[in-house]
Structures are given as structure tokens and as C-alpha cells.
């Protein structure tokens, strides 16, 4: 109720007339006058110079007016935040992904649309360097990529999952269950470029073994 009375006081100061102030607040003049009188009782000071017509505010009233404006602005801000929470998140959401993870995009997009239907989504498919540059320039909100591709900068990261890369190799003898990149890079390979981190791609470029690269 006190916030409503603050609104009455702000309107009275703005309009300079009880009738016009009441009209701007969509209440009757007696209601507005009663609200300001209640405010004076609550504050324990005279806020409005009393007379046959509005004659301005007292010095104490000017102090109350200053605080009334602050509190009114805070309450309106709270109302906007609560309204936004009821509507849900809205605006643009820009996601960047590597070509090798493009298959994940529809799953993410559908799940996000179901939870936040007002969100406008866009998806950029590009290499790691381009995605990082887009984040630096504020052209992307989030990028789905390999942690190994992220330099030692102040990026907020979150591990979604640990990716396993399988090596298919025809051999007469039993092969070990796991191997190292040093062992793999010495073989003739057919590699999905976006499936391996950029540092490994750089090492592939230096290998003498024949390698087929594809996206």
C-alpha cells in the first residue's frame, strides 16, 4: 500500500493538481488525498502544504519525494523482472558448433525450444578458430567444441561429455584396446577433420604418411 501512496505523491508533484493527479492514477480525488494523508501519518511529518488548493511540498515532503521516486523505480523494476520470469527467457540465442557435432544441433534446438519457446535461435557451423573468434567479438553466446581447442584465455567452460574416437584397423594380430596419437599418426588414415582437436590436425599436416581428410 505504501508504494501506491508513493505513486500518488509522485503524480501530485508532477501534475501540480489533486484532480489531475488522481486522474493520472485512475483513482478518485478523495482516494488520492487519503493515500497522501496516510503517507504523512506513516512518516510522521507534513508532506503537502495544506490549503484550499495544492501549494507544493514541505521541505520534509521533498525528502520523502526523493525516496518515493527511488522506491517506485525499484518496485517497477521488480515487476518487470517477475513479468519476464512468467513469460520465460526471450531474445536471441546464438550457438556455434563444429561440423563434427552438427548432428547434436537439432536435439539441442528442439529441447531448448520446448523449454523457452520465446527464444530466437541461430546456429553457426564452423571451425574451432572461427567459433572462438566469434565468441571474442560477441557474435556467439555459446560454442560446442573440444576443450583442447580452447587457449588459456578467460573463457567459461563446462564439460558436457568425454568423446571417444575409434580407430578401425585391419590386422592379422590382436590389437590393443587403446592407443596413442603418436602411434595413430604414423598410419595411413582417413580422418573426419572436425572429429579431432585442431592441435592434432596440425600434427597430421606434418606427417609423411598418406592421409585422407574429409568433413
Domains within the chain, CATH numbers bracketed: 2-87 (1.10.10.10), 91-149 (3.40.190.10), 164-215 (no CATH)
H/E element holding 214?
A: strand 211-214
pLDDT higher than 80, residue 50: no
Instruction: Write down the pLDDT at residue 77.
Output: 84
Q: Are 128 and 109 in contact (CB under 8 A)?
A: no
pLDDT higher than 70, residue 59: yes
Residues shown for the chain? 215
- Whole-number Å distance between alpha carbons of 59 and 119: 49
Instruction: Write down the pLDDT at residue 139.
Output: 93
Instruction: Write down the pLDDT at residue 140.
Output: 93
- Whole-number Å distance between alpha carbons of 62 and 27: 23
Instruction: Write down the pLDDT at residue 94.
Output: 93
Long-range contacts: 101-110, Cβ < 8 Å, 24+?
101/144, 101/145, 101/194, 104/144, 108/144
DSSP code at position 48: B
For the full predicted model, state whether its pTM sits above 0.95.
no
Q: Which of 87-96, 115-124, 135-144 is the least confident region?
A: 87-96
pLDDT band at 178 (very low <50, low <70, confident <90, very high): confident
pLDDT higher than 80, residue 36: yes
Summarize pLDDT for 61-103 with one digit per residue, the tens: 899 889 888 888 888 888 877 777 776 677 889 999 988 777 7
pLDDT band at 168 (very low <50, low <70, confident <90, very high): confident
pLDDT higher than 80, residue 1: no
pLDDT band at 197 (very low <50, low <70, confident <90, very high): confident
- Whole-number Å distance between alpha carbons of 176 and 45: 87
Amino acid at each position: 500500500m505504501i508504494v501506491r501512496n508513493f505513486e500518488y505523491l509522485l503524480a501530485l508533484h508532477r501534475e501540480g493538481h489533486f484532480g489531475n493527479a488522481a486522474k493520472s492514477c485512475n483513482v478518485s480525488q478523495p482516494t488520492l488525498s487519503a493515500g497522501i494523508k496516510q503517507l504523512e501519518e506513516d512518516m510522521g511529518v507534513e508532506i503537502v502544504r495544506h490549503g484550499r488548493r495544492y501549494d507544493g511540498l514541505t521541505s520534509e515532503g521533498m525528502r520523502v519525494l526523493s525516496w518515493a521516486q527511488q522506491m517506485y523505480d525499484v518496485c517497477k523494476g521488480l515487476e518487470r523482472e517477475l513479468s519476464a520470469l512468467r513469460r520465460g527467457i526471450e531474445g536471441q540465442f546464438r550457438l556455434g558448433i563444429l561440423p563434427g557435432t552438427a548432428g547434436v544441433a537439432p536435439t539441442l534446438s528442439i529441447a531448448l525450444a520446448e523449454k523457452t519457446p520465446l527464444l530466437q535461435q541461430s546456429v553457426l557451423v564452423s571451425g574451432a578458430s572461427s567459433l572462438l573468434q566469434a565468441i571474442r567479438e560477441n557474435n556467439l553466446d555459446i560454442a560446442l567444441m573440444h576443450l583442447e581447442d580452447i587457449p588459456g584465455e578467460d573463457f567459461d567452460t563446462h564439460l558436457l561429455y568425454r568423446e571417444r574416437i575409434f580407430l578401425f584397423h585391419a590386422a592379422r594380430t590382436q590389437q590393443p584396446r587403446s592407443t596413442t596419437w603418436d602411434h595413430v599418426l604414423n598410419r595411413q588414415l582417413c580422418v573426419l577433420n572436425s572429429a579431432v582437436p585442431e592441435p592434432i590436425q596440425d600434427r597430421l599436416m606434418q606427417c609423411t604418411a598418406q592421409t585422407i581428410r574429409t568433413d
